[in-house]
Amino acid sequence: MPNASLDAHLYGGSNPLPWPTRYSIAWGVVAALLYLHEESDQCVVHRDVRSSNTTAVAGTMGYLAPESATTGRASKESDVYSYGVLALEIACGRRPIDHGNKEGRVSLVDWIWNLYRKSAVVEAADERLGSDFDRQQMERLMVVGLCFAHPDHRQRPSIRQVIGIQRRTSLNLIF
């Protein structure tokens, strides 16, 4: 992003990043990961997909896939997990781990899974957007985020599969 990271634009200003910009960024990152994972001459694992997008530290808490935390190894599947967290962060305007919650540390992924089970996932949309977003796009991005952030790496879709999800008109496909 020009002039700052996505993190700075999501959290740093008084004006929220508009929904069309967020949605475009989310799918732009998918396209970049598709290139790295499947279209470049060699598969490239990013290792640290996150909103601040600095690569000095690989494996940032909150974005780290469960299997990477256990094995210490990065993979295409761990990039997919990190992207899922990023997609949820873009939609919700919340950090991956909420340390300021009165119940203690709350995971963004766990919170949205709970809302999904109640068919209320759109309630997690960034409050600063008000109603200034496309509800279907918001739901699509959150469901894609949840698919990507599935705790079992074998259940996560590939980047290419998600490109297909982006183009579908219905979300009766995933869970």
Q: What is the CATH number of the domain that holds 82?
A: 1.10.510.10
* Biggest CA-to-CA distance, the chain: 48
In a domain, 160, yes or no: yes
| pLDDT exceeds cutoff 50 at 105 | yes
In a domain, 174, yes or no: no
For residue 168, name the pLDDT band (cuts at 50, 70, 90): low
Question: How much is the mean pLDDT over the chain?
Answer: 78
pLDDT digits (tens, 9 = 90+) for 31-51: 888 877 777 777 666 655 656
In a domain, 52, yes or no: yes
- The reply to whether 7 belongs to the active site is no
Higher pLDDT, 165 or 171: 165
In a domain, 118, yes or no: yes
Q: Please state, as a whole number, how many other Cβ atoms lie within 10 Å of the Cβ of residue 159.
A: 23
Residue 163: CB partners within 8 Å, gap ≥ 6? Answer: 30, 31, 34
pLDDT digits (tens, 9 = 90+) for 36-91: 777 777 766 665 565 665 333 344 555 555 655 556 666 677 778 888 999 999 99
In a domain, 48, yes or no: yes
Report the pLDDT value the prediction gives residue 167, as an integer from 0 to 100.
64
Range of 29's domain?
A: 6-167
For residue 1, name the pLDDT band (cuts at 50, 70, 90): very low
CA triplet 121, 118, 69: central angle to 5 degrees?
65
% the chain with pLDDT above 70: 68
The catalytic position among 48, 98, 110, 126 is: 48
Q: How many domains does the chain have?
A: 1
Asked if residue 133 lies in contact with residue 24, where contact means CB atoms within 8 angstroms, the answer is no
Report the pLDDT value the prediction gives residue 126, as an integer from 0 to 100.
95
In a domain, 175, yes or no: no
Residue 169: CB partners within 8 Å, gap ≥ 6? Answer: none
Single-letter amino acid, residue 27: W
In a domain, 70, yes or no: yes
CA distances from 56 to 25, 66, 88, 162 (A): 22, 21, 23, 28
In a domain, 1, yes or no: no
Asked if residue 17 lies in contact with residue 8, where contact means CB atoms within 8 angstroms, the answer is no
Q: Please state, as a whole number, how many other Cβ atoms lie within 10 Å of the Cβ of residue 111.
A: 16
